[in-house]
Amino acid sequence: MTHHLPDWSALREDFPILRQKVHGHPLVYLDNAATSQKPRVVLEALDRFYRHDNSNVHRGIHELSRRATVAFEAARERAAVFLHAREPAEIIFTRGTTEGINLVAHAWGGKNIRSGDTILLTEMEHHSNIVPWQLLAERTGAKLAYVPITGNDGLLELGGLDNLLDNTVKLFAFTHVSNTLGTVNPVADLCARARRRGIVTLVDAAQSAGHRPVDVQEIGCDFLAFSGHKVCGPTGIGVLYGRRELLEGMPPFQGGGDMISSVDYFHSTWKEPPHKFEAGTPDFAAAIGLGVALDYLAAIGCDHIARHDAELAARAMDQLSSLPGLRLFGPRTGHAGVVSFLLQDIHAHDVVTVADQRGVALRGGHHCNQPLMKKLGVESTARASFYFYNTAAEVDVLCETLREIQKFFGA
């Protein structure tokens, strides 16, 4: 818990990209669920690393290699602290959430999932927490099952969960925060119910990390994945947390340099986790940048960020609901900083195109949630997603723009 209330407008100044005009209007960047912007400290850290310390990690004996290796492993320690992992060895660097989930599906799933087993997901998952399990199910003959969501407010229907968690279920994977509905799932409760039955859990934290406190010990999950680019870090880097006992029992994901202990022509042995799961040269510069981003967020306080996100979302929902013919998705209260909506008779893509001409960056589409869209009975939604550098004034610009859009299309 951080004590001082952050100075949000001073923090906004840390983001050079936000100070620009788009189509003649000040940029209002409301596509943070897709990716976040980067503060100057992260940009400078990347620049400094490439200018002064760049060298491959875990390979050389020379000075630059030592510096790069020390910085890379320090970034791992920062990620461990950020997630409250017990030790840095539980932190695997990946390319992002998607690769983290695929790693678990291959390395853990390949060894532990058999024909007749069930992999339990929820109806609000991103494609990246569906497709890897479909592929695993095809390889192994396992089945998929889904925790349903309630129709209108987009909450998980938890009444039947204990029945769904039957003795065929080996893994329960679910998102912490929905990237379409803004729903915040009770992840600690879900993990506790699964653990009681010996079921392994994976939390997709792509939308929660950096937006609210994420403590893997408090959540009680076995695996948790997030993406660096959504938390003010560089692209191409992400984190998979895995509980040590599980990581130790898992075969490697990919083979190559850096992950081996010894290799001969017919047989090799592996390093211990986490390096066992990091074949080849990692994006170590990005990992170092991510470490800086995580420190930056920790200094602000993810609890404060959650409150700020929620305030902007509540303001947006309040104003949007005054527009005629507007449909809001997701829960009425307890919303994360993600608000999906549709204007009657105006397609999301048309909304986004016109908003863009006003400098307002929104997302329109299925948000990699096609099955969820089907369930909601729509093809797409428009989405505004907030971060701590967004302001109440920007929410007002959004609503004013939507009002103009309604006028423009004569709806």
Partner 1 sequence: MTDELSELYQQVILDHSRKPRHFHVLPEANRKAEGNNPLCGDRYTVFLQLEEGVIRDISFQGSGCAISKASASMMADELKGKTVAAARDYFSQYQNMVTTGKMDEEAMGKLCAFAGVHHFPMRVKCAILPWHAMLAGLDGQTSVSTDTH
Ligand X SMILES: Cc1ncc(COP(=O)(O)O)c(C=O)c1O
305 CB-near residues (< 8 Å, 6+ apart): 210, 211, 212, 297, 387, 388
Helix, coil or strand: residue 368: coil
Query: Binding of partner 1 at residue 404 (CB under 8 A)?
Result: yes
In degrees, rounded to 5, the angle at the alpha carbon of residue 33 between the alpha carbons of residues 29 and 35 is 70
- Scored b (16 or more CB within 10 A) or e, 27-41 reads bbbbbbbbebbbbeb
Token output for 242: 């895995």
Identity of the residue, 211 or 363, whose beta carbon is nearer to partner 1 in the bound complex: 363
Pick what 175 binds: ligand X, partner 1, none; C-beta below 5 to 8 Å, kind-dependent. Answer: ligand X
Strand 223-227 with 200-204, pairing? parallel
Sorted by sequence, the CB contacts under 8 Å of residue 103 that are 6+ apart come out as 92, 94, 240, 253, 277
Phi, psi for residue 156 in degrees, rounded to 5: -70, 140
208 contacts which partner out of partner 1, ligand X, none, CB within 5 to 8 A by kind?
none
Give CA–CA dist 186/195, Å, rounded. 14
Rule CB under 6 A: is residue 175 a binding residue for ligand X?
yes
DSSP 59-83: T--SHHHHHHHHHHHHHHHHHHHHH
Applying CB under 8 A, among 66, 143, 271, 366 the residue interacting with partner 1 is 366
The reply on whether position 128 binds ligand X by CB under 6 A is yes
Nearest residue to 245 via CA among 108, 102, 74: 108
Closer by beta carbon to partner 1, 295 or else 350 = 350
User: Which of 221, 232, 368, 399 is the catalytic position?
Assistant: 368
* Residue among 237 and 354 whose Cβ is closer to ligand X: 237
3-class secondary structure, 3? coil
Q: Is 327 in the site for partner 1 (CB under 8 A)?
A: no
Selected range binding partner 1 among 68-76, 159-167, 186-194, 403-411, rule: CB under 8 A: 403-411
| AA identity, residue 233 | G
Nearest-5° angle of CA 225, CA 229, CA 231? 75
Write each residue from 80 to 109 as x if it is in contact with ligand X (CB under 6 A), else as -, in one continuous string. Answer: ----------------xxx-----------
From 4-12, 35-43, 93-101, 365-373, give the range in contact with partner 1 by CB under 8 A: 365-373
The 261-280 contact track toward ligand X, x by CB under 6 A, reads --------------------
Identify which of residues 103 and 206 has a Cβ nearer to ligand X in the complex.
206
By a kind-dependent CB cut-off of 5 to 8 A, residue 390 interacts, out of ligand X, partner 1, none, with: none
Residue 1 pairs in a beta bridge with none
Contact segment (CB under 8 A) with partner 1 among 108-116, 155-163, 334-342, 361-369 equals 361-369
Smaller CB separation from partner 1, 148 or 365: 365
Alpha-carbon span 289 to 337, nearest angstrom: 24
Has 221 been annotated as catalytic?
A: no
Length of the chain, in residues: 411
Report strand pairing: 118-122 vs 169-175. parallel
Are residues 240 and 223 in contact, defined by beta-carbon separation less than 8 angstroms?
yes
Contact pattern for partner 1 over residues 368 through 387, marking x by CB under 8 A: --x--x-----xx-------
Pick one of 7, 13, 19, 23: the residue that binds partner 1 (CB under 8 A): 23
Tell me the Cα Rg of the chain.
Answer: 22
x/- letters, 200..229, toward ligand X (CB under 6 A): ----x-xx-------------------x--
Choose the contact partner of 379 out of ligand X, partner 1, none; CB within 5 to 8 A by kind. Answer: partner 1
Instruction: Tell whether residue 340 is a contact of ligand X (CB under 6 A).
Output: no
User: Residues in the site for partner 1, rule: CB under 8 A?
Assistant: 23, 345-350, 353-354, 357, 364-366, 370, 373, 379-380, 404, 408-410
User: Residues in the site for ligand X, rule: CB under 6 A?
Assistant: 33, 96-98, 126, 128-129, 175, 179, 204, 206-207, 227, 368
Which sequence positions are flagged as catalytic? 368
